[in-house]
Structure 1
Amino acid sequence: MTETSIHYLDARAPDGMRLYAIGDVHGRLDLLAAMHRRIESELEYKPTADWRIIHLGDYVDRGPDSKGVIDFLIAAQKRDPRNVMLAGNHDIGFLDFLDTPDPDGLFMRYGGVQTAQSYGVDLTGDASWFGKAEAVRRGHQALVSAVPQAHVDFLRSLQLSLISGDFFFCHAGIRPGVPLESQSPQDLVWIRDVFHNHPGLYPKVIVHGHTPVPEAEVMPNRVNVDTLAWQSGMLSALAVDGADKRILTVQGKAF
């Protein structure tokens, strides 16, 4: 271990602050609400001087209620700004689609149809009659009208990373060898193999989602809490209190 690196076992939250980091939600409002109830119960029955609930991105696509998830997160942030939301690649993809309706982009290929449905919009249309591109264009116009400006503002406000104590939080991961403050936005929301396969320690323990795993993955240099909630019915979170670290899960219906 070098002087500027930290091992998971040694990593600590800031003094007096409990951290919670929640993995990819993907439209599963039921699981997000259940996780918040569990965390709120902990905070009530085992109080702490301060806390942060950090959401690691990918709030939309694939699951049934992306609109409800965004409504929930906006309300949570208004209620207490210690609810922190980071951007995932799917959240950025939603904004990109609202700006430019690419029929072959991330949004249309990976669950955007379900996101649109949660706003009462059918993006598929009668593609056999209009053609796919025209069906998407018509659906796009309806979706732009259906998405509240508050949702667009929320998505645009999402930060890409957060440092707290010995932890660095982001959606996907970091590029090894690049200082944390110099990481590219693309890597923070998209990176996979070169980050996952890096054997060395980082200046902070990286807490992320983005790449689904059957159960939360705890490594010496990183923690992955994306447990494919939209399909598996299991949403996971990392809880850190001083040097104490735990994985929390809530269960719901699998699809």
Structure 2
Amino acid sequence: MYDAREIKILLVDDEASILEFLELGLENEGFQIMKAQDGISAINIAKQFHPHIAILDVMMPGMDGFEVCKMLKKLSDVAVIMLTAKDEVGDRVKGLTIGADDYMAKPFSFEELLARIHARIRNQFPHLLNEVVVGPFQIKDGRKEIRFKGETLTLSTTEYELLKYLVINHGIVLSKAKILDDVWGYDFGGQENIVEVYIRAIREKLGDTEHQLIRTIRGSGYRVDLS
């Protein structure tokens, strides 16, 4: 895993109660925390603090979260998790389009936010990881190797990246479009059915003939279940 004390998180929200709640919870997890109640302050803090993760509210007076996200992304490779007051598709699409890495709708559980923070660290800052153990999986990113129930899987480069992505985001439903964007890249321009082809191949290598490990969520995408 990683040492949480090495991870810097910037909290940006105009509601002091939310900032205090998040600060207390995340400091108890060991993370380094800085906070801001407006966009200008967030940008100024980020220039000195150099956060790995920014948890950013969309609805703020003055400079909104979308503008702050764009400016933060210009400064560094910070991973941005946006908080929206409503689970609206428009906010989600706009946030992802301007560079946000994830989003959550208020109200949210601290446990889910923590899981998404872990996923962002594993996805975007693998150099901070020694070895990731998730359920029956061991991911050794430096060696591009995944072990399942103690056995090393024989995977192509793309199979490795896809399985790692699915496992790290276990419990979260991932659409084919999002998988294409995050694994193949925004400029890939491929067809979504390529995801089905690779999922089928990975299931065979895992012996997941009943699709109990990598579940198909009809009309939504795929979800890895480890329970």
State the TM-score, normalized to the length of structure 1. 0.28
* Higher share of residues assigned helix: 2
- Which of structures 1 and 2 has the larger relative contact order (alpha carbons within 8 angstroms, sep 6+)? 1
